Structure 1
Amino acid sequence: MADPTDSETETFDTGKFERDRQRVEQGFWPKLRRIAGRIPFLDELLAAYYCAVDPASPLKVKAVLMGALAYFVLPFDAVPDFLALFGFADDAAVVYAAIKMVAKHITPAHRAKAQAALQKLET
């Protein structure tokens, strides 16, 4: 997959980015705390979150990740989260695709913050 930061001529919808950012800001942590024990890709989700909110991350990287994180936060999506075994499959696919697109921007520092957050969630 192409890195979204490779092409500076590409544009994205800044209004959508702002709506996604607000949705993530309001809903990410509450949803995560509620369902953390049921998410098999929690470490990657948290690393993506920390990359998306990092001021040093390029805006296009933030836009890609915020879109994926906003999809995760949505209460209703392609496969409802309450369905056993399948509920997070679509969320995982969206997050995985976004991470693959921007993988070189998810740093060891983002992963360290994710691990620290995981430890706090477990206590």
Structure 2
Amino acid sequence: MTEEEVADPQNLPLPDRLTVAADATDDIHVLTPTGEIDHHTGDELRQALDAITTPRPRVVIDLHQVTFMDSSGINILIAAHRALTDTGGWLRLARPTDPVLRTLTIVGIDTVIDCHTTLRHALDD
């Protein structure tokens, strides 16, 4: 590979796309992101959270299909937690993958936002 090929931004791989499935069960909104949550993809999760407009919203983010999360994802979770609790609602996290759990633990988010090993526990607590 030549230097020109490496330096050409058109030859760089695109960041993984993030998709977010939304569902509701017992008046609890369940968001299931799939892919990586980073500064390139985080708006998808932010938009899904912003689309929840019910009074005192209760939200679970099921992280079992998230392969990576950087500080952008952490910031989205903190902002969502604050916004939801300010309106009398709550945010819970469920089933984080090992890499995501490591990130949550390192920065201490798991001590601020309820983090559950199963979706059922996140919905029941």
Q: Scaled by the length of structure 1, what TM-score is found?
A: 0.26
Q: Higher relative CO (CA 8 A, sep ≥ 6), structure 1 or 2?
A: 1
| Structure having the higher Rg | 2
Q: Scaled by the length of structure 2, what TM-score is found?
A: 0.26
